[in-house]
Amino acid sequence: MNIQQFYDEGLAHASYAILSEGKVALVDPGRNPRQYYDFAEANNAQIVAVIETHPHADFVSSHLEFHQNEGASIYVSKLVGAEYPHTGFDEGDSFQMGKVSFHSLHTPGHSPDSISILLKDENGKDYALFSGDTLFIGDVGRPDLREKAGNMKAQREELAKMMYHTVQDKLKPLADDVIVYPAHGAGSLCGKNLSDARQSTIGEQRATNWAFGDVDEQTFVNSLLEGQPYIPKYFGYDVDMNKKGAPAYQRSISRVSIWPEGSNIPAGALVIDTREQDKFRAGHIPGAINIMNGGKFETWLGSIVGPEEHFFLVADSAAELEILIFKAAKIGYEQLIKGAVVNPAGMTETESTFDVEAFKANPDTFTIVDIRSADEHKNTPIFEESINIPLHELRERAGEIPADKPVVVHCAGGYRSAAGSSIVSGTLKGAEVLDFSEAIKDFQEVVH
């Protein structure tokens, strides 16, 4: 038996291939199937099964593609209401592959249809738990993503109670040496206190994970519901796409319209400009949003742009554009790209450069907008007089910002404020909008 973890840093998503006797089963695979095919080919094996722990909200899975191309069986809870060919895989169900066997545990809490997969070795001993978004290293999955999406909808309080009983009745009875392989690590929006560790054991989680503590149901529910991160716009869209099964990756990407370099983008179109901030400032399409190509590009794309919108993607090279289309595809957004363009025509300079010294001398002459999350703003304040509008709400709420003084936008490190200042500038026509950028780091220790 060989277990291979594949980790996507951008989405903090872990997927798995389990190899036994020339056969491979995948757990929660990401959108691009190539790495899984490479693993199977390197081991002279065939992908025969794909297990989905639940319909994921934060990425699009390639399960249907493996069924269509390889004839792989897809195992998923019947509660999902999956619209693709599948085998129901619920509490008490199991299947053998080579010398190992896979057993389904119904573990609701993150979603009502979540399952965890108990892998048993050739001797029938519990070996590993593929816990999906139920159990993370240091936390459990958030219970507030299924109030508006999926086949089964449930209120967060109801799911939090389910999670309590999942921990008590399904996870706590497992042996200490069972390895825990979660679907996410630190940086995922599917939980709030995830560890950087990529795997653990039940014993380690029993000793260190708050959810395994000796608490009553209500205390557990209150702790789980408190301080959960925001819900990106794309989450419900991905739940529905995963329930239906996504179109094949390469075929879908090949349909993205690549426009000739220097093309004119239609007036009034939504433009996502992914270039570095200095290039964006030097010239961009009026009203464009500057989501720079970085480690969390796909998350911010799906947080700022809704799945009902279509947009143009701008980059400064064809190679960069290709990478960005791949990233957009991880959340199913390649289908929303109306056109992808390198350095389109009609780019004009519209933003001023922020004078840090002028701000230090007279901060009262600026309107300060903090686009960090509400928790960041509350727990690590920087400017007492700032207006807090989190970045994912900014397009809808930028009109609330007074424009009688120059507006300066800040986040924690500079990445988000590039997007934020571009959104505010596009909304407050004629106002002077400035970006604190990385200079904000000099104020975090000094000003409170």
What is residue 189's predicted lDDT score, i.e. its pLDDT? 74
Distance, CA of 59 to CA of 237 (rounded, Å): 10
Distance, CA of 258 to CA of 14 (rounded, Å): 31
What is residue 206's predicted lDDT score, i.e. its pLDDT? 96
The number of CA neighbours under 13 Å toward the Cβ of 303 is 21
Q: Name the CATH topology of 2-233.
A: Metallo-beta-lactamase; Chain A (3.60.15)
Chain position carrying tokens 């120059």? 406
Distance, CA of 323 to CA of 329 (rounded, Å): 10
Query: Would the CA dihedral through 61, 64, 66, 67 be positive or negative?
Result: positive
Say how far residue 297 (Cα) sits from the centre of its chain: 10
275's tokens: 């270039």
What is residue 355's predicted lDDT score, i.e. its pLDDT? 87
* Identical fold, 2-233 and 247-342: no
What is residue 192's predicted lDDT score, i.e. its pLDDT? 65
Phi-psi region of 201 (alpha: psi -120 to 50; beta: other; left: phi over 0): beta
Closest CA to 49 of 69, 22, 31, 67: 67
Query: Would the CA dihedral through 418, 270, 319, 254 be positive or negative?
Result: positive
Distance, CA of 383 to CA of 439 (rounded, Å): 14
- Low-confidence stretches of the chain (pLDDT < 50) are 446-448
202's tokens: 């039940």
Sheet with 126-132, edge to edge strand ranges: 94-97, 100-106, 115-120, 126-132, 179-182, 200-201
The number of CA neighbours under 13 Å toward the Cβ of 245 is 17
Q: At what angle do helices 415-427 and 297-304 cross, to 10 degrees?
A: 30
List pLDDT tens digits, range 33-43: 999 999 999 99
Check residue 176 and report its DSSP letter: T
Q: Is the pTM of this model over 0.85?
A: yes
What is residue 446's predicted lDDT score, i.e. its pLDDT? 45
What is residue 447's predicted lDDT score, i.e. its pLDDT? 42
Q: Could you tell me if 75 and 95 are in contact, meaning their C-beta atoms sit under 8 angstroms apart? A: yes
User: Which CATH number is 247-342 given?
Assistant: 3.40.250.10
Q: Could you tell me if 330 and 30 are in contact, meaning their C-beta atoms sit under 8 angstroms apart? A: yes
Distances (CA, A) of 181 to 24, 208, 399, 404: 17, 16, 45, 53
What is residue 250's predicted lDDT score, i.e. its pLDDT? 96
Length of the chain: 448
Q: Where are the domains of the chain?
A: 2-233, 247-342, 356-443
User: Which CATH number is 356-443 given?
Assistant: 3.40.250.10
